[in-house]
Structure 1
């Protein structure tokens, strides 16, 4: 038997032993799940949840490699002793708790798999990469790190990066590059902002960072939580399997819309005209709301009088006003100050009782604070505020808005955000996304929003200042990872700079870095799309593809666009992998009819997240962001550009659509291509 074949068989035996060990670990967890009991009901429920999460983390997918690499540590290179470690998606313990058969990719001992190189082997003599097909080990490559002078090209690594997509996004744990790994393993205390060109893996890096932090800071983050915020439900559906595949089920996922909808208790049923949305999303609205909330405070018009027994105790109006001012200077939230004021007033009453010879204690003070005269007096000075009612009043009462917005919004801007058809109650209002962000801002003026341990924000370039503030409130004591691409900013309120966005988030100290090496988009495609950069984002470094394969690019101008687009879809579907047909939103009905007439099964991406069960997806241009397909057919680029309110935004939308391809891109058009692509 040849030596390489014998080595491959040995590795296959190790894979079999590892899978058997993982089954034993899961069987053991299952046996505990049926008999776990705590000291009380609460403890029992907690134990059940822990065991359930443990069971989920030990699920084995036979089509996914249990390990993808091997490290041979060498004592001659500074290691404590010679040691062979297999690197995989989760830790697998040998029988009877012996040496690990597989170590977690996030463990410190796995670090050299991602960062070791000739000249800096990190105590590792040999790094081995494994090739798999449908979960079966088929090949391996070795790098003698201590002997090599230069890095060698890895065909296994290249094949894994270019492997055709099926269904939702998959993890990239076997292909993380050194610069990506630095971001993934950054300390929890560090907030990061990643400007990433298409195909640089910024979304995957963000998700793997979440998995790493949950591993490295398990106890802390199990209490404070990790949340991933994406642009829409289709995107969340697309990335939804990545963290579970890495054994992590504790991170939550949300969109900005679902975040503020859940927080406020209202459903988004309306849409704003762009001019109104721009004003509502402006950071100046935070000060408008702050003024509107605190403007409810009223100066005392007379003394507080508290009858108690045969006496009446008085607190002068000026003292009551001083108490209100003192609480405001402390910087407390509105509701907290409102709760404190009765106790402050009651304390003044007790001072007077003591001066008269009484000896009241804390119980007397509490009773006075809860008495009807004190509560009524405090309510008059510091009235209750409902955040939804406050925002409804701001958007319907021109005089109230003018008072709060004086010097911040001019008369024209104020008029833009007043509701055309005012609602009488919050429940009857047609709230927009921008409105709910305002309600969330008002709610935070009243009561501090609880903070998570870490928040990951993808496609952050499209968020307004008020949306960023809404997210930032969820990370006041935690850290953030901000992901995005200024060249893909397609909303009218999109950020102008990352420093500006980080300021609105409340994390101006975050480190900003740029990813420009593309592993997903082939060279011919990214170079074609990058022709738009001088117009849409001239300050950014043009991306470059590091793949050897140039990919396939076809520009198909035709007098028969309907026939040509179907031919292109059929040709793409005849190849391995997924197919995305990206079209102007207005042409969706027409393309649906064409695909159905041709007998092509497809999923329509839109308001309802798809199951990703077909190989062909029909994609409106406005929902293409964040997705990727092996083969992409872009239909009528000029129509994609023209659908946006201005040309720069339209070209950015087109840039997004052109950079969704992993293997091939066909551009079908009857109208001329935008001049920026042909110049």
Structure 2
């Protein structure tokens, strides 16, 4: 199906008509924006609070209606055989629909561009020659910058036209990666679309190798859910969780480009560090134990250990009467609250009311007629408050975790039968701080405090959470994320072969159980759209070692990539030369190296006069080269990658398997070409021909 250029001036010019529609659509979008800008909030509210809220909503709407000049307003067209129903077509009665990133209508309210998330747009991604879904023609548009320069037609119901691969689609997939991650609304594949449009009520786990688009699918699913369930998610909130801030910076423009501005982004560390400041680190052995799901039981016991068995009665004096609740009855009340296994703080709040109720029963037995006001007054009685403080004292989560990690006897009592003596010793502080305030908390400690906080008072649950690079989370981190969506759903994204933490999960079933979503559907993406087949085939040599049984990615790219593996004598000089050669190509360049090699490469690049960026920074006219520590490479992509000394990447990890997984990540960041330079021998998996 060839892409079309303008026809003769004497004949019909479809491209000119499409350009005219683009111009008219842009004008309509400007008019929509001007209508919002012209709103005077003084006409609708006199309350300053409501006015402030409305003004904020208007500003967000104006931002959402921005016309990004270098981003196509629409990228496709559908010609239906029959007019879809009015509901399906968003009120439009015609048979031709332009599909774009957002809805645009004219002054009469008729749609000029249909949002890609609307039901009427779905055949753009799902229709085929075998199942045309009532589509006669699907047209794709090609752009140069923001200018419409070509189109390509598929006549899905024409038996004389054979199915062919779209060259415009292929070109869009293989377009150079310059700057932050972009949306993929023009290139979503049928298997990806099924995941994107899956319902809000169910959770989904996407296993996808490098370049399969799992991150983009997760972000587009958020955009779709916000479109389909906007009111509900506006109340409950949405959250995207990434592995590090560089990654979040890389993806942060995807949702705003789709008109979605209200999605919060965070790392797990930032999510749980709201209770304490993280200033310390753990050795790997301690971090693994602190991240083990068994710590949840240790913390539960530690919290409940603060409850004391009542030994004294409660005597409430009201006027001339004394009402006595014996210790055995108090013990029954406490036992009932413990048996309900409700949160510690909620039970503590309920205890004075339960004691007051016991007093009111005695009042009624004595012929009085107390009401709710009397019960509330009794619950506030000094004797009742003193009893509650003695029986069910308040618990500070940070102080509790500090005591666990610094008091061997307390830890032993709570961890008996759960952690071995050696495991207990591994997590105890060798030089404990005098107080929780002075402690140098690690990231794993912050997760424990977050768990303890949830045992005391319920964590707020969101409507939907996207968790990317999920394979690297510990069981306790999964629990921390899971309690943020106990009443909502989740999209879990990851690749088991890219697990590079000592606690990386080996099974999605296990991970989803810790997350609290054991019934989540697990989908696997194996078609690679980013990494050239030469590069992914080379990296896949590591799979039998790092993740046996996992299906390798099959690249669907038609344009061949480049792969060069070369042993050199002077590594620094060769790396600088390779970067210079890569910069001759269009697009972004990533120099990936073991973290320990970064200082030497920094010096070599500076000596050669090369300016470079840090991971997550946008490429500029001054520099398209990014120096990337291997520990931060996950989730990033570059047109051309120079990989420095693979053996150093492997040796930088605590064990060989984790090191090979880190290397697998580094090898699969390239979109067009990969150059591997080494002085020492390659790992044997890569040394084979």
TM range (shorter): over 0.9
For 2:687, the equivalent position in structure 1 comes to 678
* Residues 77, 123 of structure 1: 8 Å contact kept: no
User: 1:41 Cα shift?
Assistant: 3.0
For 1:11, the equivalent position in structure 2 comes to 18
For 1:216, the equivalent position in structure 2 comes to 228
> Which deviations, in whole Å up to 9, do the C-alpha atoms of 1:125-155 show, x marking residues without a partner?
0000000001000000000011146531111
Seen in structure 2, the aligned counterparts of structure 1 residues 77 and 353 have a Cα distance that, compared at 3 Å, is closer
For 1:630, the equivalent position in structure 2 comes to 639
> Which deviations, in whole Å up to 9, do the C-alpha atoms of 1:604-630 show, x marking residues without a partner?
23xxx5344431100000000000000
For 2:58, the equivalent position in structure 1 comes to 51
For 1:169, the equivalent position in structure 2 comes to 181
* Residues 33, 52 of structure 1: 8 Å contact kept: no
User: 1:634 Cα shift?
Assistant: 0.3
User: 1:527 Cα shift?
Assistant: 0.1
For 1:2, the equivalent position in structure 2 comes to 8
Seen in structure 2, the aligned counterparts of structure 1 residues 347 and 71 have a Cα distance that, compared at 3 Å, is same
For 2:283, the equivalent position in structure 1 comes to 273
Aligned mates of 1:5, 1:442 — CA distance in 2:
71
Aligned mates of 1:206, 1:661 — CA distance in 2:
21
- For residue 228 of structure 1, the aligned residue among 231, 236, 240 is 240
* Residues 74, 124 of structure 1: 8 Å contact kept: yes
Indicate the SS of the match to 2:437.
helix
- For residue 319 of structure 2, the aligned residue among 309, 312, 315 is 309
For 2:4, the equivalent position in structure 1 comes to none
Seen in structure 2, the aligned counterparts of structure 1 residues 384 and 586 have a Cα distance that, compared at 3 Å, is same
* Residues 230, 253 of structure 1: 8 Å contact kept: yes
Indicate the SS of the match to 1:2.
coil
Indicate the SS of the match to 1:652.
helix
For 1:604, the equivalent position in structure 2 comes to 614
User: 1:566 Cα shift?
Assistant: 1.1
User: 1:35 Cα shift?
Assistant: 4.7
Seen in structure 2, the aligned counterparts of structure 1 residues 319 and 175 have a Cα distance that, compared at 3 Å, is same
* Residues 41, 51 of structure 2: 8 Å contact kept: no
For 2:99, the equivalent position in structure 1 comes to 87
Aligned mates of 1:154, 1:611 — CA distance in 2:
30
* Residues 37, 47 of structure 1: 8 Å contact kept: no
Alignment of 1:416-427 (within 5 A): 416-427=426-437
For 1:536, the equivalent position in structure 2 comes to 546
Alignment of 1:192-211 (within 5 A): 192-211=204-223
For 2:48, the equivalent position in structure 1 comes to 41
The normalised TM-score by structure 1 is 0.97
Aligned mates of 2:163, 2:312 — CA distance in 1:
82
User: 1:42 Cα shift?
Assistant: 3.0
For 2:115, the equivalent position in structure 1 comes to 104
> Which deviations, in whole Å up to 9, do the C-alpha atoms of 1:107-126 show, x marking residues without a partner?
00000110000021111100
Seen in structure 2, the aligned counterparts of structure 1 residues 150 and 396 have a Cα distance that, compared at 3 Å, is farther
Indicate the SS of the match to 1:508.
coil
For 1:181, the equivalent position in structure 2 comes to 193
Aligned mates of 1:436, 1:611 — CA distance in 2:
31
User: 1:595 Cα shift?
Assistant: 1.0
- The alignment status of 1:21 with 2:35, answered yes or no, reads no
For 1:260, the equivalent position in structure 2 comes to 272
* Residues 36, 44 of structure 1: 8 Å contact kept: no
For 1:71, the equivalent position in structure 2 comes to 78
> Which deviations, in whole Å up to 9, do the C-alpha atoms of 1:510-556 show, x marking residues without a partner?
00111110000000000000000000011211111001122000111
* Greater mean alpha carbon deviation, residues 278-287 or residues 414-423: 414-423
Indicate the SS of the match to 2:13.
helix
For 1:654, the equivalent position in structure 2 comes to 663
Alignment of 1:517-536 (within 5 A): 517-536=527-546
Aligned mates of 1:64, 1:496 — CA distance in 2:
40
Root-mean-square deviation (CA, aligned residues, Å) is 1.5
Aligned mates of 2:178, 2:377 — CA distance in 1:
67
